[in-house]
Amino acid sequence: MAASANSFLVGNNTQVPTLKPKSTSQSLLHLNKPTTVNLAGKSKPVAVKCVAATTHVQDGARSGSVGSQERVFNFAAGPATLPENVLLKAQADLYNWRGSGMSVMEMSHRGKEFLSIIQKAESDLRNLLEIPSEYSVLFLQGGATTQFAALPLNLCKSEDTVDFVVTGSWGDKAVKEAKKYCKTNVIWSGKSEKYTKVPCFDELEQSMHAKYLHICANETIHGVEFKDYPVPKNPNGFLVADMSSNFCSKPVDVSKFGVIYGGAQKNVGPSGVTIVIIRKDLIGNARDITPVMLDYKIHDENSSLYNTPPCFGIYMCGLVFEDLLEQGGLKEVEKKNQRKADLLYNAIEESKGFFKCPVEKSVRSLMNVPFTLEKSELEAEFIKEATKEKMVQLKGHRSVGGMRASIYNAMPLAGVEKLVAFMKDFQAKHA
């Protein structure tokens, strides 16, 4: 007896009707749980077993599509929106990953199944960023904030000096943490100008003996992004960059850096994964006081598997890397991001002061767009009305106020177009 398209079989060949998903973004897993089936007019409980669980992804349901009706446009700074096709793929494989009989969340991190996942994730990331062979890729935990301590503990001694260019809150936090482990020298800070610009590199008074120069490549809160990168004056020094909020948003010449690090939860995955790309000759110099979980050598020698890693998060990052490659790589991704950012910044400029972005135009972020209203008393209403239109998380960071639209890789053009249309309507009503 063959089951129909809208039913499945229980042990006695009785057809049980299944529920149709409301949309292609939903699937139904029929787990082993009691249900009631009418057999010859009698109600009898039976155990329902999963025969198959398949999710069909809509044609074109990829990063950049409009998405299903149930989903909102999520402008959160992180954790942030993920590509819809990546979520659907993960959903389809959640219960039984590629016929392994288990979920990724249940796998041993030392088993062949997960080894294939983490190895492919690293390979795809290397392809995306064209990472040279003399660099190691580490999948760690603790967020970029943990790296604020790990960096000086691994890269310098307590008497060494580290230079910092501070263009926002995250750069400032990096300095404060590093002070516990080395001498810090803030060679430029934008704090007095409320973090709205990036300095001219020629004017930076770097320490000639600085072990390294640290920057935050994109400040999530203030919306300031480096479009080029400074070069350390110390010939033996190197550049270190926190790229949490613009990681894999555009091509980057990795060879210009000693270390690139960032949390995954903005552009390439869920929260819980921290990625460190480090030149191999910088590994192996951790101080004796360095906790084992912060020692780059330990993680490098164990291929990021010294202890149980964030397995599902790494798997999700791998799916995102696949998606970015399928889009044509980071050059194509950057074009899409530039188009979205131009659309939003142009709307702000064309509002004749009703909306304002405080950041200097030449260094405005492609990822995080902060803006305010001329009439600040309308900001709460703006956020409330936007939420009604299924555009969420537009409230600015608590430290700066206003609004902020984070338009990472996975934010489709349709989301930015809808926001811009809403902004114009809101201005028409309240100007």
* Residues designated catalytic: 170, 242, 266
Amino acid at 116: S
CB 243 within 8 A of CB 261: yes
Could you give the CA distance from residue 367 to residue 30 in angstroms, rounded to a whole number? 40
Could you give the CA distance from residue 322 to residue 120 in angstroms, rounded to a whole number? 9
Q: What are phi and psi of 340, to 5 degrees?
A: -65, -45
CB 270 within 8 A of CB 291: no
Could you give the CA distance from residue 229 to residue 251 in angstroms, rounded to a whole number? 13
Could you give the CA distance from residue 330 to residue 29 in angstroms, rounded to a whole number? 35
> Which of 215, 127, 201 lies closest to 163, judged by CA?
215
**What is the number of other CB atoms lying within 10 angstroms of the CB of residue 302?**
12
- Strand order across the beta sheet in which 368-373 lies: 355-356, 368-373, 403-406
- Whose tokens are 């995102």? That residue is 320
CB 320 within 8 A of CB 116: no
Could you give the CA distance from residue 119 to residue 128 in angstroms, rounded to a whole number? 14
Could you give the CA distance from residue 114 to residue 125 in angstroms, rounded to a whole number? 17
Amino acid at 163: D
Q: Following DSSP, what letter does each residue of 210-274 receive, concatenated?
A: -SEEEEESEETTTTEE-SS----SSTT-EEEEE-TTTTTSS---GGG-SEEEEESTTTTS-TT-E
Q: Following DSSP, what letter does each residue of 119-158 receive, concatenated?
A: HHHHHHHHHHHT--TTEEEEEE-SHHHHHHHHHHHHH--T
> Which of 177, 109, 115 lies closest to 143, judged by CA?
177
How does 187-218 read in b/e, with b if 16+ C-beta sit within 10 Å? Answer: bbbbeeeebbbbbeeeebebbeebbbbbbbbb
